[in-house]
Structure 1
Amino acid sequence: MLQQQTQNTQPPSTPSFQIPAYVLDDLCSRFIINIPEEERQDLIRIFFQIELAHWFYLDFYCAEQPELKTCGIKDFSAQIFHHCPSLSGHAQEVDKILGNWKSYKMSVPTYGAIMLDPEMKYCLLVQGFWAKASWGFPKGKVNAGEPPHECAIREVFEETGFEVSRLINQEEFLENRMNDQLTRLYIIENVPLDTKFQPKTRKEIKSLQWFPIDALPAHKRDQSSKTQLGLNPNTFFMVIPFIKSLRKWVGNRQNLSEASQTATIRPSSRPRSATGGKSTKDTDNISNSNRQYKEKQKLRQQQYFSQMNQSEYQELLHLKDSKTRAREARDRKQQRHEQSTTQGYASPNYKSDKNQQFHILNRDGTVGGKPRRSLATQFDNQGNYGNQYQPGKYGNKSDRRQRTNDQNTSIENFVPPSWRNFRLDVDSVLACIG
């Protein structure tokens, strides 16, 4: 009972799938046991061998034997350390060694190539085998003591099957440093678009494709790849750091090519002057060609910068439009408020006629009495009626009683006795209307 319980209990680091012992024996003998003694003492170097063994396990054993399951580098390295006698003493430190190996691996320089077609309008990108892998240039990590350009030639051949040793120029490359890792890509020109690429590694490169350089994003907010290719900019996050420099390099190379073509036009049949110099016609033709070349160069630069800043300019316009709409909405609200406040006073339909007169309606329904002027004529320019209370007249707070009496007197003077004693005779009004 105790033995059965011990067998069912697995350590936390034990993987769910156990690789057969004969497979581990073969992998250890191929990649670990026969390495030099000085490299066997370095656990970081051993992990590079374990990575090769892991790829071999996935490419051959799992592909040919369906009963074997795939696993990650963490589970695979743990089983290798437990199985190999020379590594079993470090089996409890696998996670720590794996972390150190990943940190060191990120600092190893990578070298590759940017392959361009003869017209320098397309570049070749490769996609990793794993799901949701992004597109990138063919490249890989350098081996110890390996020259950079030879590393680029080797990696391009492994990932594309194309030999670039005769086309590579060690002086033409683009570099970028990200997270303390140097990436150098040599520019390879004149690669035919109909080239049949065949990767030499298994389950590393899923697909290869030519992409227009103008359609690739230059920054993470550039939506040109979304509109032209139907792919999000995040799909090209490994390509983005090189696009601006690549476009600049292509533009300079095209300008140099056009300039060299213009300079090589030297027809021998053109007449020359008696002194051996160029004729006036030759000078005019050269000046016209130079002027046309400068105009083409200026137009190309304008198109280049217009395309580079198109997305940023659209975002800026959208931001300005939103601010303008908000400001216009506030102005309309303020205008409606002012119109509602001044309605009846500043409205053009309002007319103040001081000469308008009113009559008194008698109880019997007849209109009579002395015509009275508009109430507006009974006020002075300050809005006061007769000797009414004026603002500011009673500055002392103790004169409140006198102020109240004056106000009452003003009200009596304002309302005549005939109006105060007026009573509406409803029957007389109805009879008059009928």
Structure 2
Amino acid sequence: MSGLHRSSSSSKNIGNCLPSKELLDDLCSRFVLNVPEEDQQSFERILFLVEYAYWYYEDNAVENDPKLKSLSLKEFTSLLFNSCDVLRPYVTHIDDIFKDFTSYKCRVPVTGAIILDETYERCLLVKGWKGSSWSFPRGKKSKDEEDHACAIREVLEETGFDVSKLLKKEEYIEFVFRQQRVRLYIVAGVKEDTVFAPLTKKEISEIAWHRLDHLQPANNEVITHGVSGLKLYMVAPFLSSLKSWILKHPSPVARRHNKPLKALCVWNARTSLGGNGTATVENHNRKPELRTTTMESNNRKPELRTTTMESHNTKPEPRKTTMESHSTKPELGTATVESHNTKPEVDHSQDIEPADSFINFKFDKSVILQAME
């Protein structure tokens, strides 16, 4: 981080200043110290709180102060640990803690939806804010959240579309990638002129309808390219089961042979008025109703949304910190397709033990109380 400067009112280093100690202390107090005691019992829970603080910094502080530098999560974590009195004793172990946390997040169950149009010829895909790959809208489960509720929430956050009235709990496809369970509910019959626009900042850059026959890859790996060259992430493994489902559930609307072959873009961050990836413009001459996201600004403490692993007493992630680790290729598990009254047994036990950095951790409450005085 050499060559960077602390943010100050006199600084002229546009986009190159580190957050001030005052800002870091405020974020630490707001997101790490002023939370229920149960959220301070292990490093994995604390790191999720740090991640909330990071999102707030990126989505609000950086956006409102052009002098501030946009940081990676690891850079921000290191700065916060060095600045916060409660976290500073663990700075020497920050690399191991962050490595364990990253590994832990990759085991959090994920749910989402495969949204099909009225003819079942196209599905809705979203493209991440910084990446180039497309995927089904999905995200990690929150604490005590049911699978279908997580899917409804994540789809709403990433697309602005409420699938709660269309989603059927028994209609889903499920895969296990190494230790991470991914369940996608099949939501069919959505009109192509439906309004889509993400409700979270800087998470989704584009939303489009893509033809299923253009997504069929040459292999069944997690990261692949469709026949048209489209880069796909966690799409290919679901296509075979999806096509089997479509064969058993014919579309009530006849296929239109005059439909364009290319993808149909329904939302793009670059053409939105806000330019920050939120639902700010009218699409198809209608404007979606915006809801309040979990991260609120205006100097108010945001309502934290904590997440959980399915087994034991651990707990993980939020919005979509989707861990698209493009440097690894997870092993594919067996797909589970549940439809109507056919309910195959699925082993949802995770049996995850905390990493070394998490074992025997206990927050020093006296330091917390002293810091809050």
TM-score band, normalised by shorter chain: 0.5 to 0.7
Superposition pairs for residues 31-430 of structure 1, below 5 Å? 31-130=31-130, 132-220=131-219, 229=228, 231-232=229-230, 235-254=231-250
Q: How much has 1:221 moved relative to structure 2?
A: 8.2
Alignment TM-score, normalising by the size of structure 1: 0.52
Aligned to 2:332: none
- Select the structure with the greater relative contact order (CA < 8 A; seq sep ≥ 6): 2
Indicate how the Cα distance of structure 1 residues 255 and 122 shifts in structure 2: closer, same or farther if over 3 A, else same.
closer
Letter in 1 for 2:173: L
User: For the residues of structure 2 that align with 1:161 and 1:226, how far apart are their CA atoms?
Assistant: 26
2:112 and 2:154 in contact (8 A); partners too: yes
User: For the residues of structure 2 that align with 1:256 and 1:68, how far apart are their CA atoms?
Assistant: 53
- Three-state SS of the structure 2 residue aligned to 1:197 is coil
2:172 and 2:186 in contact (8 A); partners too: yes
Report the more deviating stretch, 132-141 or 205-214.
Answer: 132-141
Q: How much has 1:80 moved relative to structure 2?
A: 0.8
2:114 and 2:187 in contact (8 A); partners too: yes
2:120 and 2:251 in contact (8 A); partners too: no
User: For the residues of structure 2 that align with 1:20 and 1:187, how far apart are their CA atoms?
Assistant: 47
| Cα displacement string for residues 82-134 of structure 1 (whole angstroms, at most 9, x for unaligned residues) | 1122211111111111111111111110010111111111100001001x431
Indicate how the Cα distance of structure 1 residues 179 and 133 shifts in structure 2: closer, same or farther if over 3 A, else same.
farther
| Cα displacement string for residues 362-401 of structure 1 (whole angstroms, at most 9, x for unaligned residues) | xxxxxxxxxxxxxxxxxxxxxxxxxxxxxxxxxxxxxxxx
Aligned to 1:347: none
| Cα displacement string for residues 255-288 of structure 1 (whole angstroms, at most 9, x for unaligned residues) | 8999xxxxxxxxxxxxxxxxxxxxxxxxxxxxxx
2:215 and 2:225 in contact (8 A); partners too: yes
Q: How much has 1:29 moved relative to structure 2?
A: 2.5
User: For the residues of structure 2 that align with 1:166 and 1:191, how far apart are their CA atoms?
Assistant: 11
- Three-state SS of the structure 2 residue aligned to 1:162 is coil
1:112 and 1:153 in contact (8 A); partners too: yes
Q: Which has the larger radius of gyration?
A: 1
1:220 and 1:237 in contact (8 A); partners too: no
Alignment TM-score, normalising by the size of structure 2: 0.60
- Three-state SS of the structure 2 residue aligned to 1:47 is helix
User: For the residues of structure 1 that align with 2:26 and 2:208, how far apart are their CA atoms?
Assistant: 37
- Three-state SS of the structure 2 residue aligned to 1:195 is coil
Indicate how the Cα distance of structure 1 residues 221 and 239 shifts in structure 2: closer, same or farther if over 3 A, else same.
closer
User: For the residues of structure 1 that align with 2:129 and 2:117, how far apart are their CA atoms?
Assistant: 25
User: For the residues of structure 2 that align with 1:56 and 1:184, how far apart are their CA atoms?
Assistant: 28
User: For the residues of structure 2 that align with 1:219 and 1:147, how far apart are their CA atoms?
Assistant: 34
1:127 and 1:135 in contact (8 A); partners too: yes
Letter in 2 for 1:117: D
1:218 and 1:244 in contact (8 A); partners too: no
Letter in 2 for 1:145: D
Considering fraction of residues, name the structure with more strand: 2
Aligned to 1:19: 19
Gaps of at least 5 residues in structure 2 are 4-15, 255-373
- Three-state SS of the structure 1 residue aligned to 2:165 is coil
Gaps of at least 5 residues in structure 1 are 1-6, 9-15, 259-434
Among the aligned pairs, what percent are the same residue?
40
Letter in 2 for 1:91: V
Q: How much has 1:17 moved relative to structure 2?
A: 5.6
Aligned to 1:380: none
1:218 and 1:241 in contact (8 A); partners too: no
2:111 and 2:148 in contact (8 A); partners too: yes
User: For the residues of structure 1 that align with 2:17 and 2:241, how far apart are their CA atoms?
Assistant: 47
User: For the residues of structure 1 that align with 2:132 and 2:147, how far apart are their CA atoms?
Assistant: 26
Letter in 1 for 2:235: V
Q: Count residues with an aligned counterpart.
A: 239
List structure 1 segments (4+ residues) > 2 angstroms apart after TM superposition.
217-222, 224-227, 255-258
Aligned to 2:340: none
Letter in 1 for 2:246: V
1:120 and 1:189 in contact (8 A); partners too: yes
Letter in 1 for 2:151: A
| Cα displacement string for residues 409-434 of structure 1 (whole angstroms, at most 9, x for unaligned residues) | xxxxxxxxxxxxxxxxxxxxxxxxxx
Q: How much has 1:226 moved relative to structure 2?
A: 5.8
User: For the residues of structure 2 that align with 1:220 and 1:17, how far apart are their CA atoms?
Assistant: 45
User: For the residues of structure 2 that align with 1:221 and 1:164, how far apart are their CA atoms?
Assistant: 28
- Three-state SS of the structure 2 residue aligned to 1:25 is helix
